[in-house]
Amino acid sequence: MTNPDLSGALTLASPEACLAHYRAWAESYDAGFASDMEYRLPAHVAAAFMAAGGGSPVLDIGAGTGLLAERLRDMGQDGPIDAVDFSAEMLERARAKGIYRRLTQADITRPIALPRQYGGLVSSGTFTAGHVGPDALPNLLALALPGARFALSVNLRVWQAMGFDRALANLQDAGHIAGMQVIEVQVYGPAAATIDPAHADDRAQIVLFRVA
Ligand SMILES: C[S@@+](CC[C@H](N)C(=O)[O-])C[C@H]1O[C@@H](n2cnc3c(N)ncnc32)[C@H](O)[C@@H]1O
């Protein structure tokens, strides 16, 4: 059995196609995709963020149905967590969980109409093929307080291919961010091998840094 939802997600060619894809995927995302594939990335990002010292309030970037915020709560993050995502349907699933203080529907590839107020900015699964590239990073830095901590996953398929390595190095060289660390993790658990062999071994970089 293949997983057309994930395969389709990784080949999206435009923001409109991405929105349409998540409109259809929202209902089955948690109980289907995340459960069947043993989707571990939100837990890895939450663990890396907390181990590095955390930060508050938190903005969950491309929050989707709220899996990363659930893991942050499990791991003891008790301050406010806000969500930003451009899919209304995914945000409705997240809202129903009652975890987020505020949910904002916005395209993160454009300037985001939120104040600079976050001490922690986290993201799982949003920086991947068919999704968001490094051009969004300045829009996110614009929301971060001085010293804010970032923990962002970047799928290894796009780490060099979309230029995340260069963009982050440039931000560090220019003195905008500091203390960058990269941790490589497995995106899915063992069950993924029987569900979607083409993606079962996907790996991601979790990028940790602070705003200088
Ligand atoms: C793979 S899902 C990850 C959701 C959640 N973080 C998780 O780990 O389960 C990617 C999310 O990014 C959102 N997304 C994609 N492109 C976006 C953009 N340009 N602006 C805001 N959100 C976007 C999608 O709507 C979707 O909810």
Provide the β-strand partners of residue 59.
82, 121
Nearest CA to ligand 1 atom 12: 62
Match 């997600």 to its residue by tokens: 9
For residue 85, the CA-to-ligand 1 centroid distance in Å is 6
Query: What's the domain range around 52?
Result: 4-211
Across the chain, which has 212 residues, the per-10-residue mean pLDDT values are 62 85 93 96 98 98 98 97 97 98 97 98 95 96 98 97 97 98 98 95 98 96
Whichever domain contains 167, its CATH number is: 3.40.50.150
CA-to-CA separations, 116 to 37, 53, 57, 61, 161, in angstroms, rounded: 36, 20, 11, 14, 30
56: left (phi over 0), alpha (psi -120 to 50) or beta: beta
How many domains are there within the chain? 1
Nearest atom in ligand 1 to the alpha carbon of residue 66 is 5
pLDDT of residue 130: 83
Please name the residues in contact with 2: beta carbons below 8 A apart, sequence gap of 6 or more. 195, 196, 198
Do 122 and 60 meet the contact criterion of CB atoms below 8 Å apart?
yes
pLDDT of residue 3: 42
Q: Which of 21, 67, 85, 114 to mutate to test the pocket of ligand 1 (most atoms within 8 A of CB)?
A: 85
pLDDT of residue 105: 97
Nearest CA to ligand 1 atom 3: 125
Match 């500091």 to its residue by tokens: 178
